[in-house]
Amino acid sequence: MHPILAIVFLPLLAAIVGGLTNKAAPAVFTKSITTGALFISCALSWPIFLGFVAGTVEPQVVPVLQWVQSGTLSFDWALRVDTLTAVMLVVITTVSALVHLYSWGYMEEDPDQPRFFAYLSLFTFAMLMLVTADNLVQMFFGWEGVGLASYLLIGFWFRKPSANAAAIKAFVVNRVGDLGFMLGIFGTFLVFGTVSIPEILEAAPVMSGSAITFMGMRLNTMDILCILLFIGAMGKSAQLGLHTWLPDAMEGPTPVSALIHAATMVTAGVFMVCRLSPMFETAPVALGLVTFIGAATCIFAATVGTTQWDIKRVIAYSTCSQLGYMFFAAGVGAYGVAMFHLFTHAFFKALLFLGAGSVIHSMHHEQDMRYYGGLRKKIPLTFWAMMMGTLAITGVGVVALHIGFAGFHSKDAILEVAFARGTETGQFAFWMGTFAALLTSFYSWRLMFLTFWGKPRWIESEHIQHTVHKTPAQAGEDTTGGYHPHESPVSMLIPLGVLSLGAIAAGFVFNRAFVDSAEFWGSSIFYNEPLIHALHNAPVLVKYAATIVMVLGFVIAWFAYIKDTSIPGKFVAQFRSLHAFLYNKWYFDELYNLVFVKPAFWIGRQFWQKGDVGIIDRFGPNGAAWVVERGVGVAKRVQSGYLTSYALIMLLGLVAAITWILM
Amino acid sequence: MGGFPILSAMLGVPLVAAIACLFLSDNGARWTALVATLVNLALGILLWLNYDIGGAQWQFVESEDLFAGFKYALGIDGIALMLIVLSVFLMPICILASWESITKRVGEYMAAFLFMELLMIGVFAAQDLFLFYIFFEAGLIPMYLIIGIWGGDNRIYASYKFFLYTLLGSVLMLIAMLWMVHQSGTTDIPTLMQYDFPAGAQTWLWLAFFASFAVKMPMWPVHTWLPDAHVQAPTAGSVILAGVLLKMGGYGFIRFSLPMFPEASAQFLWLILGLSMAAVVITSLIALVQHDMKKLIAYSSVAHMAIVTAGLFAFNQQGLEGAMVMMLSHGLVSGALFLCVGVIYDRLHTREIDRYGGLSINMPQYAIFFLLFTMASIGLPGTSGFVAEFLSLMGVYEVSSVATFVLTTGIILGAAYMLYLYRRVAFGEQKNADAAAMPDLNLREWIMLGPIAAAVLWMGVYPESFLAPMRKDIAALDARLARAEPAGDAKLEAKPPREHNANYIEPSGDHGEGHESEGEH
């Protein structure tokens, strides 16, 4: 039996058993079996991955069960293991196992723990099905499966209206992307007669010049197919236009945000583009769009991230922005580099989220950074973990020595390759990416300074007020309100420690394999050798660009939040409308509400009250009933009993009949 | 199976039981009905097990001459088999659903249901045109009675509306049938399925049948009887209505309109696609604003049935098989959703969505079932709804990308209205004390919902069990339709491939001036 079967199906088994047991057994039962299953999956995944790094493992497809067979269309349940899958396997199982462990502490007091752990394991199963898919439909199965788990976990605290709204929003917005994905699958089958990924990738180049009609437009076949599939990726990976669900998804418990909305599910879109990279390489227009959307998202989300107060929302926008980097890296053809950033980002972003969770945990569920401050000394271990995460995401490192934290390696490679690609969209992506790197550094340090430096501002928080039973006025000078933040339990600190190691070393250790090694990737992605050469030959200034803006962002944040804390207020007063625009996330939610949500309900009511009731029923069945009633009246009058009138009618009828026949 | 007339037995068991029920006490009638439907379920499973996949097209054939060329002829192919299995599967569940909620005239009620079962099986098994017509139209009567006698407050209006609508089509269909028999000289359905009617006559024959089937389906805009009928019908009535009666329209299309009038079917392709597109968008939007649970699910049924009609008229195997799976899946899922409504209606006696809320707190098991069926209705992969939707839409795509685009928006709207419903019922705070006090599922309700849940997952993960018996019949139909098959709008045109891959760049200097790229040529 191939270990992949255990890796994928153990979490499912644990989810079913744990979920059905629910409260029938003590919570520790479900917690143990789900966490145990994940650690086994993780332990089995790393040897596979390291085997690919060392070049000792061959790609393989493990068949499971026939799924659908209809005419010439057929697809099966099967598990594909190649380099690309192996990368995702370690990311998913590692982060998931650590998040399971972390949740022992974080969810300690929740009465619904079995349900939570069962959902987490269910999610992991679906995500593993997604990355092991050998055909587009199984990928879609995983795609929707993670969507379901995400829906359930965002809405985990289902008593909260905001959590419910966020859960539905996530599902429905993702479905907009799925519309594209499904049409893409249909189109792919129409063109290639198969949904098997290897067969499509092999046949794609032949069709690169062909034309097809889609919704009345005459288009290049591969471009339209890839654009449709990419719309699916945009939904899942929260790219500009379909991103609105991700910040709201922070309504879910923080471990969920770390696992689903940072490290794994949201990267599914990037994974999809990389998995289909030989297909996307036949579609220059589609790739141009990927680059453009990625670059636009990366700058958009970074600008919004600079203004948010909720610690989780800052990290959420940061995730959105980092996903943009991955997309434009893929768009310019550096799929290995995109996957590299996906890999490092999984560690440091999960770390940042879990660190934020630890802060929230210690601050009695307060998430607003305005009420933090001075936590460095109180929760030192969390502080250091967050520090590692921040150093990694901002990309701290020494260019000349090529040593640095995880994000340093992957982000630099992305910016360099975007520049080296030499096209206009590549240039656009490079400049947007560089500016976003400045903002990344700024908002990351802003988060750190607001949270860990300065004076405590805790008593302003309602959560803290409830805990210490004091109002700010009663607390007086003591802005802590007498509240004592305490460090999180060991079960939460271990994951922080392990992920810190990842944030420090993942870039340095795996740089060569991910970026430079065509052998490592094998045939699992499209590997563009000359492009990587160009990357290494990028101008010196380009190589230093990321470091320069990183330092600049740090300095600005230091001035604004340490040196002179009145600067942000003055800035906002000066640029009120700009700040409002950013703070309100470019008004996307308001726009969508106005254009889609409200009209949908309004039109629905019109169709119902005016259409069904007012027209169809009125002139249909009710009208028929009315006609019958009136008809009865007429019939009554006609049956007058006078022979002459009967004779007249008979005569008229006869004349009419004869006329009819003669004509 | 030797010579055992299993189909006749499946008609006879409910008939005998129905008559018995009329004379029995309330409890006697309940048990008689349950045993009879279980016997029929056993016979149905036997039928399935003994059906020879890949064997003769028509199996379990029985034929008896009656009078004036009128024959008692039964026989099934794979398509009919699956629909019969669906019917007998849902019947015992319906009886259980009525166990406690029906307290007046129990004997007559059970008799009506058993009679209904007889007629449903009859429709799918009939091989004689007029026998089919009798079963098809007589099906109205018990449903009319079930709504009119055991229904809600406004049951008289609903039952008249139901009757008026369905009657309209039937008259036209009967005239068309008479003409067909006159023309071809036979009432044998398998023979008629091979008969080539003149193209001119096909047009109005098709329209006459369409009038009947479109109402049964129901297609937009002749759907307005359905929400009222569902709202007023007792739970089990809704289950059978949504689960099986609506499928008679689809069965009619696949058994009559398509094989008998292929040219006309192609001619009216855009009528069907147009109405289907309108139905998906309009009824989904209407479902979004409903306050009554049953009405919401009724409107969602219209949207799902539109996928069936579109799939049927895709003129290819994926479309046809998808439509069939959709009929089976929708039969299970919408039936189950109506049962879910019934479960809480029995406790609180209201269908008003806002009267519920936070049910996952006091009814967690119920919430899980409801979630599963909600997801199946949305078409989540792994449930039957996905296989159905995916195959149908895949089929339609080969005909028209525009139609597919519009129909696929149903997956967005469907998610919106179903999740919005689920949120208001199962999530949120417990607003109402009486709703918060409702007990979770009892054993009887578990027995009702459990098997459907299993079937929904089975059909989602391994639909082969359901596709295999129908494959040959659908392939035969597809072959017959081939001559009228419309050209797709894709018009794929091969041209020389591009010279380079999209991100091709010249290999850098240290690799020489070579023009070879690793891109494809």
Q: Which amino acid is at B122?
A: G
Tell which of A186, A613, A617 to mutate to test the B interface (max B CBs under 10 Å): A186
Verify whether the Cβ–Cβ distance A530 to B506 is below 8 Å.
yes
Indicate the residue of A191, A287, A607 with minimum beta-carbon distance to B492.
A191
Does B487 reach chain A within 8 Å, measured CB to CB? no
The answer, yes or no, to whether residue A482 has pLDDT greater than 90, is no
Indicate the residue of B290, B405, B461 with minimum beta-carbon distance to A183.
B405
Judge contact between B234 and B192, C-beta under 8 A. no
Q: How many CB atoms lie within 10 A of CB A389?
A: 33
Indicate the residue of B397, B501, B508 with minimum beta-carbon distance to A186.
B397
CA closest to B158 among chain A residues:
A621
CA closest to B492 among chain A residues:
A212
Q: Return residues 147-176 of B near A (CB < 8 Å).
A: 160-161, 164-165
pLDDT attached to residue B277: 94
CA closest to A73 among chain B residues:
B318
Mean pLDDT, residues A494-514 taken together: 93
Indicate the residue of B321, B428, B494 with minimum beta-carbon distance to A210.
B494
Helix (H) or strand (E) holding B408: helix B401-426
Judge contact between B495 and A211, C-beta under 8 A. yes
Which residues touch A374 (CB under 8 Å, ≥6 apart)? A452, A453, A454, A455, A456
Mean pLDDT, residues A9-27 taken together: 90
Nearest CA-CA distance, residue A65 and chain B, Å? 8
Tell which of A8, A12, A66, A68 to mutate to test the B interface (max B CBs under 10 Å): A68
CA closest to B368 among chain A residues:
A20
Mean pLDDT, residues A99-115 taken together: 92
**Separation CA B283–CA A52 (nearest Å):** 52
- Give B501's contacts in chain A (Cβ within 8 Å): 205, 281-282, 333, 526, 528
**Separation CA A287–CA A234 (nearest Å):** 13
- Give A282's contacts in chain B (Cβ within 8 Å): 497-498, 501-502, 520
Per-residue pLDDT of B70-97, as tens digits, reads 788 899 999 999 999 999 999 999 999 9
**Separation CA A179–CA A165 (nearest Å):** 21
Q: What is the 3-state secondary structure (H, E, C) of A490-516?
A: HHHHHHHHHHHHHHHHHHHHHHHHHHH
3-state secondary structure of B71: strand
Nearest CA-CA distance, residue B116 and chain A, Å? 25
Nearest CA-CA distance, residue B221 and chain A, Å? 7
Tell which of A70, A151, A424, A535 to mutate to test the B interface (max B CBs under 10 Å): A70
Q: What is the 3-state secondary structure (H, E, C) of A172-187?
A: HHHHHHHHHHHHHHHH
- Give B380's contacts in chain A (Cβ within 8 Å): 144-145, 148
Sequential DSSP letters for B314-339: T-SHHHHHHHHHHHHHHHHHHHHHHH
B110-B373-A127 Cα angle (round to 5): 160
**Separation CA A624–CA A636 (nearest Å):** 18
Strand blocks (E) in B200-243 = none
Q: Return residues 448-477 of B near A (CB < 8 Å).
A: 461-464, 467, 475
C-alpha distances in Å from residue A580, one per residue of A246, A306, A320, A443, B183: 20, 12, 20, 17, 77
Does B375 reach chain A within 8 Å, measured CB to CB? yes
Query: Exposed, middle or buried, A581 (CB in 10 Å: 0-12/13-18/19+)?
Result: middle
Verify whether the Cβ–Cβ distance A164 to B317 is below 8 Å.
no
Sequential DSSP letters for A223-269: HHHHHHHHHHHHHHTT-TTS-THHHHGGGS-HHHHHIIIIISGGGHH
Q: Which residues are A63's β-sheet partners?
A: A78
Q: Smallest Cα–Cα separation from B412: which of A226, A597, A387?
A: A597
pLDDT attached to residue A645: 67
Mean pLDDT, residues A111-139 taken together: 94
Q: Return residues 285-304 of B near A (CB < 8 Å).
A: 285-290
Judge contact between A299 and A316, C-beta under 8 A. no
What pTM, to 2 d.p., does this model score? Answer: 0.92
Please tell me the least confidently modeled range out of A273-282, B15-24, B146-155: B146-155
Verify whether the Cβ–Cβ distance B391 to A68 is below 8 Å.
yes
**Separation CA B73–CA B260 (nearest Å):** 19
The answer, yes or no, to whether residue A540 has pLDDT greater than 50, is yes
Verify whether the Cβ–Cβ distance B364 to A22 is below 8 Å.
yes
Q: Smallest Cα–Cα separation from B117: which of B187, B39, B48?
A: B39
Terminal-to-terminal C-alpha distance of chain B: 61
Mean pLDDT, residues B334-343 taken together: 94
C-alpha distances in Å from residue A224, one per residue of A177, A184, A202, A221: 15, 8, 18, 6
Plot region of A571 (φ>0 → left; ψ -120 to 50 → alpha; else → beta): alpha
CA closest to B398 among chain A residues:
A190
Judge contact between B57 and B77, C-beta under 8 A. yes
Sequential DSSP letters for A336-383: HHHHHHHHHHHHHHHHHHHHHHHHHHHTTT--BGGG----TTTSHHHH
Sign of CA dihedral B143, B149, B151, B153: positive
Verify whether the Cβ–Cβ distance A603 to B285 is below 8 Å.
yes
Q: Smallest Cα–Cα separation from A3: which of A87, A62, A78, A82?
A: A62
CA closest to B503 among chain A residues:
A333
Indicate the residue of A159, A210, A621 with minimum beta-carbon distance to B358.
A159
Q: Smallest Cα–Cα separation from B303: which of B288, B291, B293?
A: B288
Q: Which residues are B198's β-sheet partners?
A: none
- Give A213's contacts in chain B (Cβ within 8 Å): 401, 489-491
Q: Smallest Cα–Cα separation from A359: which of A247, A256, A450, A236?
A: A450
Q: ipTM strictly over 0.85? A: yes
Q: Smallest Cα–Cα separation from A90: which of A32, A133, A147, A41?
A: A41
Please tell me the least confidently modeled range out of A335-349, A465-479, B27-41: A465-479
Place of tokens 């002139």: A619
- Give A613's contacts in chain B (Cβ within 8 Å): 224
Q: Smallest Cα–Cα separation from B325: which of B216, B230, B266, B250?
A: B250
3-state secondary structure of A147: helix
Per-residue pLDDT of A158-217, as tens digits, reads 999 999 999 999 999 999 999 999 999 999 999 999 999 999 999 999 988 888 989 888
Does B188 reach chain A within 8 Å, measured CB to CB? no
> Could you give the maximum distance between any two Cα atoms of chain A, in Å?
118
Place of tokens 């055992």: B4
Nearest CA-CA distance, residue B464 and chain A, Å? 6
Judge contact between A283 and A331, C-beta under 8 A. no
Helix (H) or strand (E) holding B75: strand B71-76
Percentages of chain B per state (helix, strand, coil), in multiples of 5: 75, 5, 25
The answer, yes or no, to whether residue A1 has pLDDT greater than 50, is yes
Q: Return residues 351-370 of B near A (CB < 8 Å).
A: 358, 360-361, 364
Nearest CA-CA distance, residue A184 and chain B, Å? 10
Q: Smallest Cα–Cα separation from B324: which of B210, B190, B475?
A: B475
Nearest CA-CA distance, residue A422 and chain B, Å? 9
Verify whether the Cβ–Cβ distance A537 to B508 is below 8 Å.
yes
Verify whether the Cβ–Cβ distance A206 to B358 is below 8 Å.
no
Please tell me the least confidently modeled range out of A281-290, A398-407, A606-615: A606-615
The answer, yes or no, to whether residue A255 has pLDDT greater than 80, is yes
Which residues touch B36 (CB under 8 Å, ≥6 apart)? B13, B14, B16, B17, B114
Residues in chain B: 521
Tell which of B231, B501, B517 to mutate to test the A interface (max A CBs under 10 Å): B501
Long-range contact list for A521-524, CB < 8 A, 24+ apart? A521/A83, A521/A84, A521/A336, A522/A52, A522/A59, A522/A82, A522/A83, A523/A59, A523/A82, A524/A59, A524/A82, A524/A83, A524/A84, A524/A85, A524/A275
Instruction: Place B2 in a pLDDT band, splitting at 50, 70 and 90.
Output: low
- State the count of interchain CB pairs (< 8 A) between A and B: 241
The answer, yes or no, to whether residue B386 has pLDDT greater than 80, is yes
Q: Which amino acid is at A29?
A: F
Per-residue pLDDT of A313-328, as tens digits, reads 999 999 999 999 999 9
Q: Return residues 115-134 of B near A (CB < 8 Å).
A: none
Verify whether the Cβ–Cβ distance B412 to A175 is below 8 Å.
yes
Per-residue pLDDT of B435-462, as tens digits, reads 888 888 899 999 999 999 999 999 999 9
Please tell me the least confidently modeled range out of A379-393, A428-442, B146-160: B146-160
The answer, yes or no, to whether residue A365 has pLDDT greater than 80, is yes
Which residues touch A446 (CB under 8 Å, ≥6 apart)? A306, A314, A557, A560, A561
- Give A215's contacts in chain B (Cβ within 8 Å): 401-402, 405
Per-residue pLDDT of A400-434, as tens digits, reads 888 899 999 999 999 999 999 988 999 999 999 99
Does B380 reach chain A within 8 Å, measured CB to CB? yes
Q: Smallest Cα–Cα separation from A407: which of A385, A389, A384, A430?
A: A389
Verify whether the Cβ–Cβ distance A528 to B503 is below 8 Å.
yes
Nearest CA-CA distance, residue B334 and chain A, Å? 20
3-state secondary structure of B16: helix
C-alpha distances in Å from residue A367, one per residue of A387, A487, B498: 18, 16, 53
The answer, yes or no, to whether residue A587 has pLDDT greater than 70, is yes
**Separation CA B480–CA B483 (nearest Å):** 7
3-state secondary structure of A60: strand
Percent of chain B at pLDDT exceeding 70: 97
Would strands B71-76 and A60-70 be described as parallel, antiparallel, or unpaired?
unpaired
Residue A373 — φ and ψ, nearest 5°? 110, 135
- Give B411's contacts in chain A (Cβ within 8 Å): 175, 178-179, 182
Pull the structure tokens for residue A257. 């945000």
Alpha-helical runs (H) found in A55-160: 83-106, 113-131, 136-154
- Give B497's contacts in chain A (Cβ within 8 Å): 205-209, 282
Nearest CA-CA distance, residue B283 and chain A, Å? 8
Which residues touch A513 (CB under 8 Å, ≥6 apart)? A53, A520
Terminal-to-terminal C-alpha distance of chain A: 85
Does B221 reach chain A within 8 Å, measured CB to CB? yes
Pull the structure tokens for residue B346. 């029995």
